[in-house]
Amino acid sequence: MNFYPHRFVHNPYSFFVQESATAAIFDRASQLKRAGKPVISLCVGEPDFPIPTPIKEAIIQGVENNNTRYTPTAGLFELREAIAAKLLRDNGLVYSPEQIVVSNGAKQSIMQAMTVLLQPGDSVLIPAPYWPSYRDMAILNGAVPVEIPTQIKHQYKLTPDLLHGYLSSATKAKILLLCSPSNPTGSVYSRSELKALVSVISEFPQLFILSDEIYEYLLYEGEHVSIASFPEISARCIVINGFSKSFCMTGLRIGFAAAPLRISTELIKVQSHLTSCAGSLSQVAALAALRLQRESLSPMLQQFKERRDLVCNRLMELGNCVEFFTPQGAFYVFVDVSRVLRANPAGIQSDTELCLFLLENHCIALVPGSGFGCPGALRISYSISKMQLETAMDAFVKGIQTISSTP
Ligand code: PLP
C-alpha cells in the first residue's frame, strides 16, 4: 500500500490543494436527482436571471463583425477605457486603461495577482469564512494561507484589533484578502470599518490588499466602498471585479484587475503566457454591459432583496436554534447552526453531516460552512425562484425543527 502519495505528484503545491469540501453533497444531490427525488439546490453560486438583452445583441453583433480574433493581452482598449470610467464613477478610483487587465473571470485575476506578488513562504491573510479558492490559490503560488477566524457578532468582518494581532505575528504577510460584499456571508464593510482597517494597514508597508468586489452591484442596503479609495494605501491595492454576478455573465468569463502600473505591467506578462487574452466576444459583451444604465438592474435587485427577506423571515421561526444576520449584499445567508450541533440530538456531529441529513430527508442541498473555513455553519444561496425558495425554506425549517426536537 502506498502511504506517500506525494511521491507521485510532481508539484508539491498542487498536492496540497484541497478538493471541494462540497463534493460529497453535490455527488449525493445528483444521485438523488437522477433517482427522481425533487431536490432543491440552495448551493447556487450564480444569478438565476438571464443576461440583459442588449448584452445578447452585442454578442450577436460581435459575431457578425467577426470579433473573433485575439485582442491585446490586457483587453480591448475601449473596454479598459470603459472600466476606468466605471471605477471613477462608482468608486472614485482613478486608473488609466494601462492599469486595467481584463481576464477570463475574477478568478483568473486573483490567481494572477497572487502569482505576481507572492514569493514562496509568504503568507496570505484570509478572513474566514472565505471563498475557498483564495486559500488554494495561495497554496498553488507557494504561499501559506493564514485563516483569520471572524465572529458572527461582527457579521464575520475583520476588526482592526484582530487584523493588528495577525499582522504583528505573521511577519511574512504579503497579501490581505478582502471580499465585500462577501461570499459566503453577504456582509458589507462600511466606510468607517474600512477606515479603521486602513489605519492598521498603514503600519505595515509590506502588505498588499486584494480587494474582491465582484458582488459590488448586488447590494440591498448601504453603500459599496472600495478600500482602494483610501489614498494612504491605494498604491498597495489591487481591485478585482467582474461581470459574472452583476450582469449574470458567469459563463462568459470576464473579470478584471485594476492595479498600480508597476503591478498591471507584471499582470499582463503573466496573462500573456496563460490565456493570451480574454475571450473576444465576451469582451464585446462586457462593453455592452458597461453601457447599460445601472437602473436596468433594479428589477433583479428587487427580486433578490425579496428572496433574502423571505429566507431571513423563515429563519426567525427557528428562534435561537440558529444564529444569523440579515446580509446587505450578494445572494447568500450564512447561518450558524453550532447550537443544533452542540445539542447533538440526532447524532449529527458536523455541518457536513447536517447538510447530508437535510439532503437525504428533506431534499434540500446546502453548502456546509466548513467548506468556507467556518465549521458549524451553512450557506443558503437564494439564487432560485421565490416559489422554489418557499418550498426549500419549508423543508429547512422542518428539518432543523425535527432534529432539534429529537429526544
Ligand atoms: N470572487 C468571489 C467571492 C466569488 O464568489 C467568485 C465566484 O463565485 C469569484 C470571485 C469568481 O468570479 P468569476 O466568475 O469572475 O471568475
Return the C-alpha torsion angle 250, 208, 218, 247, nearest 10.
-30
Cβ(133) – ligand 1 distance below 6 Å: no
Cβ(45) – ligand 1 distance below 6 Å: yes
Average confidence (pLDDT) over 320-326: 96
pLDDT at residue 3 in the model: 45
Residue 18 has pLDDT above 90, yes or no: no
Listed residue (323, 131, 320) closest to 210, CA to CA: 131
| Ligand 1 atom at minimum distance from 109 CA | 16
List pLDDT tens digits, range 354-407.
Answer: 999 999 999 999 999 999 999 999 999 999 999 999 999 999 999 999 988 755
Average confidence (pLDDT) over 301-307: 98
Residue 1 has pLDDT above 70, yes or no: no
Cβ(250) – ligand 1 distance below 6 Å: yes
Ligand 1: distance of its center to the CA of 320 in Å? 32
pLDDT at residue 406 in the model: 59
Cβ(47) – ligand 1 distance below 6 Å: no
Cβ(245) – ligand 1 distance below 6 Å: no
List pLDDT tens digits, range 244-284.
Answer: 999 999 999 999 999 999 999 999 999 999 999 999 999 99
| Residues contacting residue 155 through CB under 8 Å, at least 6 positions apart | 185, 187, 325, 327
Which of the listed residues 48, 103, 107, 383 should we mutate to test ligand 1's pocket, taking the one with most ligand atoms within 8 A of CB? 107
| Ligand 1 atom at minimum distance from 242 CA | 15
Which of the listed residues 135, 183, 187, 249 should we mutate to test ligand 1's pocket, taking the one with most ligand atoms within 8 A of CB? 183
Cβ(132) – ligand 1 distance below 6 Å: no
Average confidence (pLDDT) over 30-38: 92
Assign 16 a pLDDT band (cuts: 50, 70, 90).
confident
Instruction: Quote the strand ranges of 141-251, DSSP E.
Output: 144-149, 173-179, 208-212, 237-242
pLDDT at residue 404 in the model: 84
Q: How far apart are alpha carbons 307 and 356 in whole angstroms?
A: 24
Q: In what order do the strands lie in the sheet with 144-149?
A: 100-103, 255-258, 237-242, 208-212, 173-179, 123-128, 144-149
Q: How far apart are alpha carbons 195 and 207 in whole angstroms?
A: 16
Residue 110 has pLDDT above 80, yes or no: yes
Which of the listed residues 20, 214, 238, 383 should we mutate to test ligand 1's pocket, taking the one with most ligand atoms within 8 A of CB? 214
Residue 186 has pLDDT above 50, yes or no: yes
pLDDT at residue 23 in the model: 73
| Ligand 1 atom at minimum distance from 330 CA | 5
Q: How far apart are alpha carbons 396 and 394 in whole angstroms?
A: 6
List pLDDT tens digits, range 66-100.
Answer: 999 999 999 999 999 999 999 999 999 999 999 99
What type of residue is 17? V
Cβ(159) – ligand 1 distance below 6 Å: no
The answer to whether 246 touches 301, Cβ cutoff 8 Å, is: no
pLDDT at residue 60 in the model: 98
List pLDDT tens digits, range 329-346.
Answer: 999 999 999 999 988 767
Write down the pTM of the prediction. Answer: 0.95
pLDDT at residue 8 in the model: 54
| Residues contacting residue 252 through CB under 8 Å, at least 6 positions apart | 51, 243, 244, 279, 281, 282, 285, 286
